[in-house]
Amino acid sequence: MTRYVLRRILWGILLLILVSALTFVLFRILPTAEPARLRAGQNASPRVIAELRVDLGLNKPLITQFWLYMKGLFLHGELGYSYHSGASVRSLIFNRLPATLSLTIGAMVIWMAIGLPIGILSALRRRSRADRASMGVALLFISAPEYWLGLIALYLFAADIGQIRVFPGAGSYVGLTEDPWKWFTSLILPWLVLAAGFAAVYARVMRGSLIETMSEDYIRTARAKGLPERRVVLRHGVRAAITPIMTIFALDVGVLLGGAVLVETVFDIPGIGRLNYDAITHADFPIIQGTVLLAALFIIVANILVDIAYAYLDPRVRYS
């Protein structure tokens, strides 16, 4: 088991290196725009731009730039400086992390708590009216764009502009430590909007997975042993059916931790996603690059964790 874990971690590190190289290619080599010019701003004189070129090391050969970039990244966690504000990208990201974490974790709890039970019940009452209804609703939520749902939610329920003024509107987020109640209420609508799509997906996946599991032979054995049906479903069925859920869960959380751009933008939550959105309007590449790397890191780590959990849950996997 430990060898398996080690192998996964080593591969994860290699993966991170490769992804970093890929982002370098995408954000340094691909665009035609010059970083120095972008950093200097609109009306900078050629001399300032030339000086900046030297400062940023842009006059060195590409290979050297690449090497310096990778060294800085892996040895010092150096993510560069914003073109627009000059602030360290790393500090900008860390400032925004709590908001993104709040949004992600809250939504995660809600979608798992809603999606999984609905999926399980639908699988057990297959083709019943409740099943068809819940799967129909699920499909609706999957098909609707979340930012649109967010806007509709605000239109209906936002305290400042809504028809029924229940929840705080966009832009009312405060940190948990500042005002816990306001923090909580300002996140309810974003949580629901973000969780809606995911809950729908997870309900469908759980349903499909459990239907398949319940037709396995070991379920028949469990019943033949005289076990209560609840135990058969939960301990034998769901236990085996949960594995695909975990795979997509890891990926989803990994992606969201990199910033739920759409929901953060609509609700004006100062998270990493919002940071990205603002960076785009200023062509602030270092920030975009930094967040992409961070998100990739989260995804890689999440995948490693899931692989380990998979091996723990399903002993057959350990030998691959």
If the CB atoms of residues 30 and 75 are measured against another protein, the closer one turns out to be: 30
In the complex, what is the shortest distance from the CB of residue 122 to another protein, in angstroms, rounded to a whole number? 9
User: How many angstroms separate the CA atoms of 116 and 123, rounded?
Assistant: 11
If the CB atoms of residues 63 and 224 are measured against another protein, the closer one turns out to be: 224
In the complex, what is the shortest distance from the CB of residue 109 to another protein, in angstroms, rounded to a whole number? 22
If the CB atoms of residues 71 and 235 are measured against another protein, the closer one turns out to be: 235
For every residue of 72-88, DSSP letters joined together read HHHHH----B-TTT--B
E strand or H helix at 237, and its extent?
Answer: none
Whether residue 155 contacts residue 164, with contact meaning beta carbons closer than 8 Å, is answered with no
Structure tokens at 103: 């949004």
User: How many angstroms separate the CA atoms of 28 and 289, rounded?
Assistant: 9
If the CB atoms of residues 151 and 176 are measured against another protein, the closer one turns out to be: 151
User: How many angstroms separate the CA atoms of 157 and 150, rounded?
Assistant: 10
If the CB atoms of residues 108 and 222 are measured against another protein, the closer one turns out to be: 222
Residue showing tokens 């309900």: 203
In the complex, what is the shortest distance from the CB of residue 181 to another protein, in angstroms, rounded to a whole number? 25
User: How many angstroms separate the CA atoms of 158 and 219, rounded?
Assistant: 48
In the complex, what is the shortest distance from the CB of residue 103 to another protein, in angstroms, rounded to a whole number? 15
If the CB atoms of residues 76 and 316 are measured against another protein, the closer one turns out to be: 316
If the CB atoms of residues 183 and 190 are measured against another protein, the closer one turns out to be: 190
83-86, long-range: CB within 8 Å, 24+ apart, which pairs?
83/35, 83/38, 83/39, 83/282, 83/283, 83/284, 83/285, 83/286, 84/279, 84/282, 84/284
In the complex, what is the shortest distance from the CB of residue 95 to another protein, in angstroms, rounded to a whole number? 18
Rg (CA), the chain: 24
User: How many angstroms separate the CA atoms of 81 and 88, rounded?
Assistant: 5
Look up residue 233 and give its DSSP letter. Answer: I
In the complex, what is the shortest distance from the CB of residue 190 to another protein, in angstroms, rounded to a whole number? 15
In the complex, what is the shortest distance from the CB of residue 155 to another protein, in angstroms, rounded to a whole number? 6
